[in-house]
Amino acid sequence: MERPVGSITRGTTAPNRLRRCDRWLLGTQSRLLRRPAEPPLLVDLGYGANPRTAVELHQRVRDLRADARVVGVEIDPARVAAAAPFTADGLSFVRGGFEIPVAGSATVVRAFNVLRQYDEREVPAAWRRLQDRLHPHGLLIDGTCNEIGRVMTWVTLDRCGPRSLSLSLHLRDLATPSVVAERLPKALIHRNVPGEPIHDFLRALDLAWAKAGPHASYGARQRFLATATALRADGWPLLDGPARWRLGELTVAWAAVAPRAAA
């Protein structure tokens, strides 16, 4: 086979590390996953030294769609070999990289904590290569999270380009929502500086959180609901609503946070 495209990741993971993204995927994209034409194919790209994220995704998506297929893709052949005992009906593992050496087009490609190790200038080309592997209605999820998955962000793309940025936070003991700044996807993490839209968004998010302080007496969930409501009232194009906000999630249109073009 041709040499896989990409570099080996650190490979660290933990149980339920990607649960928040999986919950969002199954909750907001169920229509995509239930499309009757053919069984959905979901790719867990760069699953790491332990295949648990692919195993968990397989278990969760199969509750929604019994014929769904999940393929874990890793560059390191030792990781693929270590994952082999976890192979099951609808779950397999292959060696590969951004080229995704899997038959057919992917309904979902999930790449978490993969592009963070690359240079920002390499992101567009990686995105394009992954987008080319999508089904016409498919989605690419490029995300980053902390070690236990309680602070998480991801960009969602279709074949045409980025659509949105999502944040997902563990609300209990949350000091400020801008804690996500250190876990922004590679396309944005170096843009959190004055003059960039993502910087403006995170400042507005923290300000709304601070103003919603009185709601804290009713719990962090109510405070976050008030924060998101205020953001929308201030004109930020949030694409979700209270049902997701109660979970500590926010999704904003990509156009509102996209990096400014270089002068």
pLDDT of 74:
96
Residues 155 and 196 in one domain: no
Residues 107 and 229 in one domain: no
Residues 207 and 240 in one domain: yes
Q: Is residue 181 part of a domain?
A: no
Q: Is residue 200 part of a domain?
A: yes
Distances (CA, A) of 30 to 25, 82, 136, 177: 7, 31, 16, 27
pLDDT of 5:
82
Residues 48 and 94 in one domain: yes
Residues 33 and 96 in one domain: yes
Distance CA 76, CA 74 (A): 6
Structure token pair of residue 165: 């940025």
Residues 55 and 129 in one domain: yes
Structure token pair of residue 92: 């397999």
Q: Is residue 88 part of a domain?
A: yes
Contact assessment for residue 152 and residue 146, using Cβ atoms and an 8 Å cutoff: yes
Q: Is residue 262 part of a domain?
A: no
Number of domains in the chain: 2
Residue 39 CB neighbour total at 10 angstroms: 15
Q: Is residue 113 part of a domain?
A: yes
Q: Is residue 11 part of a domain?
A: no
Q: Is residue 7 part of a domain?
A: no
Domain that holds residue 233: 191-249
pLDDT of 262:
57
Residues 155 and 195 in one domain: no
Q: Is residue 143 part of a domain?
A: yes
Question: Going residue by residue through the chain (263 aa), what tens digit of pLDDT does each one get?
Answer: 567 887 887 777 888 999 999 999 999 999 999 987 789 999 999 999 999 999 999 999 999 999 999 999 999 999 999 999 999 999 999 999 999 999 999 999 999 999 998 999 999 999 999 999 999 999 999 999 999 999 999 999 999 999 999 999 999 989 999 999 999 999 999 999 999 999 999 999 999 999 999 999 999 999 999 999 999 999 999 999 999 999 999 999 999 999 997 54
Residues 30 and 121 in one domain: yes
Residues 136 and 205 in one domain: no
| Closest residue by Cα to residue 151 from 123, 177, 125, 124 | 177
| Closest residue by Cα to residue 143 from 118, 170, 110, 109 | 110
Q: What is the CATH number of the domain that holds 118?
A: 3.40.50.150
Long-range (24+ apart) CB contacts under 8 A made by 210-219 are: 210/176
Residues 120 and 214 in one domain: no
pLDDT of 263:
42
Classify 2 as helix, strand or coil.
coil
Residues 233 and 149 in one domain: no
Asked which of 137, 169, 201 is the last residue of a domain, the reply is 169
pLDDT of 2:
67
Residues 54 and 149 in one domain: yes
